[in-house]
Amino acid sequence: MAEQPANKTVPPRSNARVIGWCLASVAGMFAFGFALVPLYDVFCEITGINGKTSGRYESTERSVADMSRTIKVQFLAQNGPDMPWIFRPVARSVEVHPGEATTVNFYAENPTDRDMVGQAVPSLSPSEGALYFHKTECFCFNQQPLSAGQNTEMPLVFIVDQDLPSHITKLTLSYTLYDQGEPQAAVTETTSTTNKTIIDNG
């Protein structure tokens, strides 16, 4: 069966070269599929798609508060599946001026009889506003361990950018708290263990 009837003319290009190019493209596109993951994050950060808020905001200049505008920032909190913690914002909403740093707290309590670790995942609506919402300090940057029965108030410090488009008057920030299982021995007490940060866009 193997006999390949010989064509009299030599092919203009070698098959090996075509296969080589094709396989390179296949490998490239496979890699591209995976590259879409970080690319998507970058894209989200630039455009604010999907309400993904960016990571810790490092202010380069002292921002001046724009006292002429008031923005309502509304907070939502919910638990992921099978997360038994009590989790809610201390204040339902606050009114802020663009440019001023504001601190709010979220209350979390672990009512179970086992030590647990939670991770809050932020999301902002309208997603267009995500570009203009800067968190300088957030409990969502790190995992939050709570031992059995313990409760805590977790801080969030944020600045609404002065460049927030004028048609946006209200921002809704939502946190979903997920169960991350048992705390590991190395990280028990402190919340500032940065190497446990698994969410770099939070």
Partner 1 sequence: MRVHAQRVGALLGGLLFPALSMADWTVNMTPGVTGTSNDIFNLHMTIFWICVAIGVVVFGIMFWSIFAHRKSQGAKPANFHENTMVEILWTLIPLVILVIMAIPATATLIDMYDTTESDIDIKVTGYQWKWQYEYINEDFGYFSNLTTPSDQIRNRQAKGENYLLEVDNPMVIPVGKKVRFLLTANDVIHSWWVPDFGVKKDAIPGFINEAWTRVDKPGTYRGQCTELCGKDHGFMPVVVKAVPEEEYNTWVADQKAAAEKERELTQKDWTMEELMERGKTAYATACAACHQADGSGAPPAFPALRGSAIATGDMAAHIDVVVNGVSGTAMQAFGGQLNEADLAAIITYERNAWGNKMGDMVTPKEIFDYKNQQ
Partner 2 sequence: MSAVAGTHAQDHHHGPASGISRWLLTTNHKDIGSMYLIFSFTMFLLGGTMAMVIRAELFQPGLQIVQPEFFNQMTTMHGLIMVFGAVMPAFVGLANWMIPLMIGAPDMALPRMNNWSFWLLPCAFLILVSTLFMEGGAPNFGWTFYAPLSTTYGPPSTTFFIFAIHIMGVSSIMGAINVIATVLNMRAPGMTLMKMPMFVWTWLITAFLLIAVMPVLAGVVTMMLMDINFGTSFFNAAGGGDPVLFQHVFWFFGHPEVYIMILPAFGAISQIIPAFSRKRLFGYAFMVYATGAIALLSFLVWAHHMFTVGVPLAGQLFFMYATLLIAVPTGVKVFNWVATMFRGSLTLEAPMLFAIAFVILFSIGGFSGLMLAIAPADFQYHDTYFVVAHFHYVLVPGAIFGIFASAYFWLPKWTGYMYDETLAKTHFWLSFVGMNLAFFPMHFLGLAGMPRRIPDYALQFADFNMVSSIGAFMFGATQLLFLLIVVKCARGGVKAPAKPWEGAEGLEWEVPSPAPYHTFTTPPDVK
Residues within the interface to partner 1 (CB under 8 A): 50-51, 72, 74, 76, 78-84, 92, 111-113, 121, 123-126, 128, 148-149, 167-170, 172, 174, 176, 178-179
Nearest residue (CB) to partner 2, 8 versus 92: 8
55 is a contact residue toward partner 2 (CB under 8 A): no
> Which of partner 1, partner 2, none lies near 102, with the C-beta cut-off 5 to 8 A by kind?
none
> Which of partner 2, partner 1, none lies near 198, with the C-beta cut-off 5 to 8 A by kind?
partner 2
Spatial CA neighbour of 54 closest among 67, 43, 65, 62: 43
Residue 17's Cβ-count burial label (10 Å; 0-12, 13-18, 19+) is exposed
> Which of partner 2, partner 1, none lies near 27, with the C-beta cut-off 5 to 8 A by kind?
partner 2
48 is a contact residue toward partner 2 (CB under 8 A): yes
178 is a contact residue toward partner 2 (CB under 8 A): yes
> Which of partner 2, partner 1, none lies near 49, with the C-beta cut-off 5 to 8 A by kind?
partner 2
Nearest residue (CB) to partner 2, 99 versus 106: 106
